[in-house]
Structure 1
Amino acid sequence: MIERHLVSTTLEIPSYRIEGSFGIVRGIVVRSRSVVGAVGASLQTIFGGNITLYTSLCERARRDAYERMVAEAEVLGANAIVGMRYDATEIARGISEVLCYGTAVHASRSP
């Protein structure tokens, strides 16, 4: 399993040397809002502030996309991911895609 500290938004990992690249890996999740969630979120907008129902939905989608990316990297034999990014697109009203991507690499501790 790829440890969390070995996934980085930078192109290097402190104290590690990149020894090889397996190429780009990604995790994609497409989610829609439920009718109940949309009604609950609409009620939260009346009072303003953080719309917790949508925050939870977004966090779940990002976590799932991240986990799929890591799983793809592990299948390739990587033990780290560099240059990790998120992207999100609204495909249709109420339907969003969340993409998590990066470069799967083999990294070893620097001496």
Structure 2
Amino acid sequence: MKKVDRSMVTTANELHGHRVAVSLGVVRGITVRSRSVIGNIGAALQTLVGGNISLFAELCERARSDAFDLMLEHAAELGANAVIGMRYDANEIAQGVTEVLAYGTAVMVEPSR
């Protein structure tokens, strides 16, 4: 599957060294994740000692990465070569089930002169 290059994504409203030639609209990638029973038990044990709960951190990182990749695929489908104004959003939609959304504006950019 074709995707926009990760280096062509920014949270800013412009991409340094480039100018927006065409704005193609909002793109998004969404993933929905749940915690497994085993993961919950492992994480519960980690909370007893305090600090970073690595099992949940890894789950969150995977969810964000998957949503980001889906957003890049959506942008490429529209013919974009960059995404500006990129953001993440997350919501718990049921007990232990979280939606992660990556979104931004798909654009065609060209080098600044």
TM-score range, shorter chain: over 0.9
Q: Of the candidates 61, 77, 80, which is equivalent to residue 78 of structure 1? A: 80
TM-score, with length taken from structure 2: 0.96
Equivalent in the alignment of 2:41:
39
Q: Which residue type is aligned with residue 23 of structure 1?
A: G
After superposition, residues 2-81 of structure 1 pair within 5 angstroms as 2-81=4-83
Instruction: Please tell me the root mean square deviation across aligned C-alpha atoms, in Å.
Output: 0.6
Aligned residue for 1:9, secondary structure, equals coil
Query: Which TM-score applies when normalising by structure 1?
Result: 0.98
The answer for the alignment partner of 2:89 in structure 1 is 87
Number of residue pairs the alignment of both structures matches = 111
> Percent same amino acid among aligned pairs?
56
Give, in angstroms, the shift of residue 5 of structure 1: 2.0
| Structure 2 stretches lacking a partner, 5+ long | none
Q: Which runs of 4+ in 1 moved over 4 A?
A: none
Query: Residue by residue, what CA displacement relative to the aligned partner does 1:56-111 show, whole Å, maximum 9, x if unpaired?
Result: 00000000000000000001100000000000000011000000000000001112
Structure 1, gaps ≥5 residues long: none
